[in-house]
Amino acid sequence: IIVFLIKMLIVFILGLFINAVFPRFRIEQAIKYLWKWPTLFAFIGLIVVVLVK
């Protein structure tokens, strides 16, 4: 449960950081960002899991 709370804190701080750096971070910008980086990292993680197994 401690690891979960730490992960939640990291996500919360990341949200605060994005809000501070990009004060007018619009929905289309968020969608563009989320399709670019997290999707890429998820795909790489999926490939790693398939190769390890």
Q: What is the pLDDT of residue 48?
A: 94
Nearest of 4, 11, 38 to residue 46 by alpha carbon: 38
Could you tell me the residue ranges of all domains in the chain?
2-52
Over 90: is that where the pLDDT of 16 sits?
Answer: no
Over 80: is that where the pLDDT of 23 sits?
Answer: no
Over 90: is that where the pLDDT of 51 sits?
Answer: yes
Grade residue 19 by pLDDT with cuts at 50, 70 and 90. confident
Burial group, residue 18, by CB count within 10 angstroms (0-12, 13-18, 19+): middle
pTM of the entire predicted model: 0.47
